[in-house]
Amino acid sequence: MQRNRRHLCVFSLLLLTLLAAPAGQAQSALTPHDIARLRNVSSAEISPDGRHIAYVLSVPRLPLEDPDGPAWAELHVTDVAGQSRPFITGPVNVGSIGWTRDGKAISFLARRSGDRTRALYVIPLDGGEARKVLEHETNILAYSFSPDGKRVAFLATEALPEAKKKLREQGFNQEIYEEDVPYVRVWIAELGSKEKPRKLNLPGSAHDVIWSPGDDRLAVVLAPTPLVDDGLMQKRLHIAHIEGAEVKVLKKVENPGKLGKVVWSPDGRRLAMISAADIHDPAEGRLMVVDASTGQFRDLLPGYLGHVSDIAWQDKDTLMFLGEEGVWTTFNEIRADGSGRKVILPAGGLILTGFSLSRDGTAAALLGQLPEHPTELFTMKHGDPGPRRLTNSNPWLAERRLAKQEVVKFKARDGLELEGLLIRPLDERPNTRYPLILVVHGGPEAHFRNGWLTSYSNPGQMAAGRGFAVFYPNYRGSTGRGVEFSKLSQGDPAGKEFDDLVDAVDHLIATGLVDRDRVGITGGSYGGYASAWGATYYSERFAASVMFVGISNEVSKLGTTDIPWEMYYVHFRYWPWEKWQHVLERSPIYHAGKSRTPTLILGGTEDPRVHPSQSLEMYRHLKLRSQAPVRLVRYPGEEHGNRRAASRLDYCLRMLQWMEHYLKGPGGSPPPSELDYTEPKQK
């Protein structure tokens, strides 16, 4: 009840839109404990008539107050005037929200009190309790209603046989690596019937299912196996037809490489999909339209110097899409034949992360963020001058002073034009040089956008408030600038892509902002690789490094990761045994002997992507072969990134402590390993 009262208080503030206090009343800089309680809107679906929007609010657990764990996911509903109501709140995890076809209820997946597995619920818009409409022996992972609403196609794994369950209870819980992973199957259930759902006989492991708008065809995304690598590189779109108790695959669409979102056109004649350009394209980002009868597809935006991140049909002949273009986003419409592209929201403003359209395509729910706030809910109708904000999930942000954020363009040493985002020190003084934290994104098939850039692992405004400059470069190999640019790092790990990072630092030094002798580097995953490279190969350029779930040995990385084929297709383009010495020399441990950079290494003990042994190798080589201070922090149970509130706060505090100690403080031996997790009183 106490948590629910907090929600009602937050949303009553919306009614006053008192949201932003005058600048002169702002009190203090952003802190790690502020970041630990940041809320954001994670998904939204507009009702068919465009009058209401259901959305999921991510609510972190508060360290030292709530039971530890990942953030809760609550269901809220707002009308287009911004009058929001909490529907399902508290210790819940709501996902996969949608609307019934008549728009009178919201559907969602959740595991609620008394549920053995994650089930499908429906809650009326006009009030009342949520009603469970479908449960299964295992968790329901995704679902799609038939056009008449009487059936539902859903994804779930098969239950373990009783004999195997009994053996596990008796201690026979051995794992057969990569063979014990359960396949995800497609099932059909008759709602309101006591008959058990029936499994469809489809090849492979399913990732998505979308029922066609007017008949018994299904768009099903299948991979050959349930392994992560196949899910990344080998997903293919299948168009299937339900024929009584049977299912027939009508067409297998040979989409090239990675595959993202798939949506039916309103008339069922076509599908749109976000696909890779080819098997070596690092990220899905091409807008393709598929003829549902032939399976043939075409790229609507050939040569597009950006990446498409979300799509929806406005009508049977028109698509809306979000474009990632450099550090900006755009909102666009285009005809299904590729003609008539129109930019609705140009680059340079709100950073959009997703959208949903009403049935007639004239109203949209938009997810967007700015440098001043994380992702919130916006709405826009045809004829509106721009998006209108509906939620303010963190009204207390108005009481924090935020530093200036700006786009910076610079040239690499070979003349390639690059850009990034700079957060300047909060109380910057003229003619003063500042310590810099260089934040490197992972992937490398990702990029930074000119929106909210601060999180538990990204120092952003927290560091700026402590007197640091913080820079987020989009080095070669990043997305957002087209396929060719995203391939520039392939076959050259830790080569020109990481030279770009040093060139970014040199540019900021040349501007007079940055002190060359006080530069730190941090990042996770591939950004952790860059941080390890900065601490070893480029040690003379970095005075501190914080490496998170990062790569240290490219030889052993291939043998311990769950994405070897992705590494081959879109990163290396060759196998290590074809270039043993070269791959070894592109590994940070090879250069560990010359490291003079104090290095903090952090990661989860259950990481399947970058195995924890990568952190251990880095630690051991630095301990044995360098004079540099080094510390290894491991988070039990965490995987490729921290999810629990406690481990996130711990990471955040340690990262900032390390940077302050070595870039602003005394340096020398590492700072104390014990931390004070209580929140300091604001001055």
Render pLDDT for 129-176 as a digit per residue (tens, 0 to 9). Answer: 999 999 999 999 999 999 999 999 999 999 999 999 999 999 999 999
Neighbour count for residue 389 (Cβ, 10 Å): 18
Using an 8 Å Cβ cutoff, are 455 and 442 in contact?
Answer: no
Whether residue 86 is preceded by a cis peptide bond, meaning omega within 30 degrees of 0, is: no
* Helices and strands of the chain, counted as H and E runs: 13, 38
The CA distance from 83 to 12, in Å, is 9
Angle between helix 496-510 and helix 526-535 axes, rounded to 10 deg: 70
Q: Is 498 left (phi over 0), alpha (psi -120 to 50) or beta?
A: alpha
Sheet containing 259-264: order of strands: 259-264, 270-275, 286-291, 297-299
612: domain CATH number? 3.40.50.1820
**pLDDT tens for residues 206-215?**
999 999 999 9
Q: Are strands 246-253 and 236-243 parallel, antiparallel or unpaired?
A: antiparallel
Give kind and range of the element (H or E) at residue 653.
Answer: helix 645-663
The count of domains in the chain is 1
What is the span of the domain harbouring residue 654? Answer: 402-663
Residue 538 located in a structural domain = yes
Residue 248 located in a structural domain = no
Residue 32 located in a structural domain = no
What is the per-residue pLDDT for 604? 98
Residue 587 located in a structural domain = yes
**pLDDT tens for residues 54-107?**
999 999 999 999 999 999 999 999 999 999 999 999 999 999 999 999 999 999
Average of per-residue pLDDT across 448-453? 98
Residue 147 located in a structural domain = no
Residue 181 located in a structural domain = no
Band (245; pLDDT cuts 50, 70, 90) = confident
Residue 76 located in a structural domain = no
Residue 457 located in a structural domain = yes
- Tokens representing residue 42 in the block: 């994670």
pTM of the predicted protein model: 0.94
The CA distance from 412 to 261, in Å, is 34
**pLDDT tens for residues 476-510?**
999 999 999 999 999 999 999 999 999 999 999 99
Using an 8 Å Cβ cutoff, are 50 and 381 in contact?
Answer: yes
The CA distance from 570 to 66, in Å, is 42
Using an 8 Å Cβ cutoff, are 121 and 110 in contact?
Answer: yes
Range list of H helices, 381-424: none
